A and B are shown apart, each in its own frame.
Chain A
């Protein structure tokens, strides 16, 4: 649905985005993750044509955004950063305004969308009086008017309270699954992405670091175990004897080692045989955040 091919962006001689390539399928929520300033927003703005592309190209439903902007963009609905609407117009007038810019959107269609995002009661009030959550929903309505195949949201949960975040998340998942839309979401909130997305692309300093399924991303095969022992040095020696390939991390009176579950009893047995006192063994579960930091740190190191 959306395909980035070696997309680069140079601003004032500085490479902001360096040959980025990935694609997004129909029916999935695709997360775009990176620390602030990594180039998420720039990339999203290039996808919707707000920023020109220095090199490479982006294809939306096989139409080039550079060469056939109008044809490509008609499949896209988007909110770029905060959903800024005309505050002096009512919500309905805002939607009419955007509906006029595209072909064949009936009044019934507008009301149907309004109903979908749950704004029916307040739609004729001025946007000035809306809460941030309501504006976000109006923004969503605006992006859905023309039944886009692709929905792009830049930081959709920025500034929303937990219930607002949840609301948006549910909407997005529903749209992706029921309408088979491709949804692209950018965020720096990892926990948020973990709950919302199917796949995640990590971007750092304008380069793509990794694209993974959220499931795989969080659940790696090996788990990290932490063993609390009285004599770290001997314990490490013993483990090296047993499993020479494993990287053991020494800490003050603990050792950490990435191993598979089946190997745990063997290690304990070995340590106990050597009269090493074990105070505890526990699995250290990795969150998306740990993985994220790990991946981005590796790149930096």
Chain B
């Protein structure tokens, strides 16, 4: 099995497309860093003695908005959250006067997680379909190795690649952030609002957790791309559908959720688990255990289909 993984890993890294992906990822993080650094004053917070007063004013504004009955559910939620966090700051004397640091940079660069996800999808979409396109699948399947093992080695390789991309993104934004922006002078917690209460969290823990929760979405969509690739033996189709759903999936689900209750059973209503930790669920009435159950069902479905089809497939063309 280890040998199979080595083979798949070799086949990924010997292709120039993969190298381009890594360079692109690093380059974009670099540009992102340079942009943040040299964009100038917008980032450096001026020392403001009256920050507490400012927050109080802010809260007053939010509260006035809340009195308006016609305020949409979304805004009510957002306002309540902001009020709670601001009150917590005032009470515990946590100033907003903090310079942009490595933590903020990493937090900002989490936007690039979807880029890492995109590259992982491309790999997942190609890893089976390409063998069929190249015709090498024939030589691969006439070895004394069970087909299930061959497909499993490919799937694990995809997951490793995804993890590798995320680690690269995190590590590189950490390194670049600490060089460009440095560490904060004093301990600065992340304030997490969940279920009506505010909690202090170490920034590092928060960021790692954020990556972890995000990677679940990537895991699911990668598994889907892998399944499409295996079933239809067409990498473009797998890439197209997966990327479309990755960017449009949650929007479409959100729209559907306005009218239909069954929207909560859709994959993309459940992929973003951060909604249970940082925010309120997309569709009210959904719980963490519901989402995890749905994700497991989708996961088993995708993989079951991929492995079953691959096992039964007549390699004819």
**A52 with B7: in contact, given A73-B143, A86-B136, A102-B144 (CB under 8 Å)?**
no
A78 at the interface (CB under 8 A from B): yes
Contact A82 B142 (CB under 8 A): no
Which of A93-101, A106-114, A263-271, A281-289 contacts its partner?
A93-101
Contact B138 A70 (CB under 8 A): no
Q: Which residues of B contact A (CB under 8 A)?
A: 3-4, 6-7, 10-11, 14-16, 134-136, 138-146, 312, 314-316
Q: Which residues of B contact A88 (CB under 8 A)?
A: 14-16
**A101 with B315: in contact, given A84-B139, A86-B11 (CB under 8 Å)?**
no
Contact A82 B143 (CB under 8 A): no
Cα distance, A71 to B146, chains bound together (Å): 11
Cα distance, A71 to B143, chains bound together (Å): 10
Contact B142 A80 (CB under 8 A): yes
Q: Which residues of B contact A101 (CB under 8 A)?
A: 3-4, 7, 140, 143-145
B99, chain A: closest CB distance, angstroms? 47
Q: Which residues of B contact A42 (CB under 8 A)?
A: 316
Residue from the list B135, B140, B314 in contact with A81, Cβ < 8 A: B135
A166 at the interface (CB under 8 A from B): no
Cα distance, A77 to B314, chains bound together (Å): 19
B245, chain A: closest CB distance, angstroms? 29
A89 at the interface (CB under 8 A from B): yes
Contact A97 B7 (CB under 8 A): yes
Contact A45 B143 (CB under 8 A): no
By size class, the interface of chain A is: 20 to 34
Contact A70 B144 (CB under 8 A): yes
User: In chain A between 143 and 195, which residues have their CB closer than 8 angstroms to a CB of chain B?
Assistant: none
**A100 with B6: in contact, given A52-B312, A70-B146, A71-B144 (CB under 8 Å)?**
yes
Q: Which residues of B contact A98 (CB under 8 A)?
A: 139, 143
Q: Which residues of A contact B (CB under 8 A)?
A: 11, 42, 45, 48-52, 69-71, 73-74, 76, 78-89, 93, 97-98, 100-102, 142
Contact B314 A52 (CB under 8 A): yes
Q: In this complex, what residue of B is CB-closest to A79?
A: B139
Cα distance, A82 to B137, chains bound together (Å): 12
Cα distance, A81 to B6, chains bound together (Å): 27
Number of A-B contacts defined by CB within 8 Å: 78
Contact B134 A84 (CB under 8 A): yes
Using A45-B316, A50-B142, A51-B314 as known contacts, list a sample of 6 further A-B pairs with CB atoms less than 8 Å apart, ordered by residue number in A: A51-B315, A51-B316, A69-B146, A74-B144, A82-B135, A101-B145
Q: In this complex, what residue of A is CB-closest to B140?
A: A101
Going nearest first, the 9 A-B pairs with the smallest beta carbon separation are A84-B135, A100-B3, A74-B144, A50-B315, A101-B143, A70-B144, A80-B138, A51-B314, A48-B142
Contact A100 B314 (CB under 8 A): no
Contact A102 B139 (CB under 8 A): no
Contact A73 B142 (CB under 8 A): yes
Q: Which residues of A contact B6 (CB under 8 A)?
A: 100
Q: In this complex, what residue of B is CB-closest to A51?
A: B314
**A50 with B143: in contact, given A84-B134, A86-B136, A93-B10 (CB under 8 Å)?**
no
Q: In this complex, what residue of A is CB-closest to B142?
A: A48
Cα distance, A69 to B141, chains bound together (Å): 11
Cα distance, A53 to B95, chains bound together (Å): 73
Cα distance, A70 to B143, chains bound together (Å): 7
Q: List 15 A-B contacts (CB under 8 A).
A: A42-B316, A45-B315, A50-B314, A50-B315, A71-B144, A80-B138, A80-B139, A81-B135, A82-B135, A84-B138, A100-B4, A101-B4, A101-B143, A101-B144, A102-B144
Q: In this complex, what residue of A is CB-closest to B316?
A: A51
Q: Which residues of A contact B138 (CB under 8 A)?
A: 50, 80-81, 84
Contact A73 B144 (CB under 8 A): yes
B113, chain A: closest CB distance, angstroms? 28
Residue from the list B16, B134, B314 in contact with A86, Cβ < 8 A: B134
Cα distance, A48 to B146, chains bound together (Å): 13
Greatest chain A CB density within 10 A among B4, B10, B15, B142 is at: B142
Cα distance, A243 to B142, chains bound together (Å): 57
Cα distance, A51 to B314, chains bound together (Å): 4
A192, chain B: closest CB distance, angstroms? 22
Q: Which residues of B contact A81 (CB under 8 A)?
A: 135, 138
Q: In this complex, what residue of B is CB-closest to A46?
A: B314
Q: Which residues of A contact B135 (CB under 8 A)?
A: 81-82, 84
Cα distance, A80 to B141, chains bound together (Å): 11
Cα distance, A299 to B127, chains bound together (Å): 46
Q: Which residues of A contact B136 (CB under 8 A)?
A: 84-86
Q: Which residues of B contact A79 (CB under 8 A)?
A: 139
B194, chain A: closest CB distance, angstroms? 48
Q: Which residues of A contact B315 (CB under 8 A)?
A: 45, 50-51
Contact A49 B314 (CB under 8 A): no
A207, chain B: closest CB distance, angstroms? 20
Cα distance, A11 to B314, chains bound together (Å): 10
Cα distance, A48 to B147, chains bound together (Å): 13
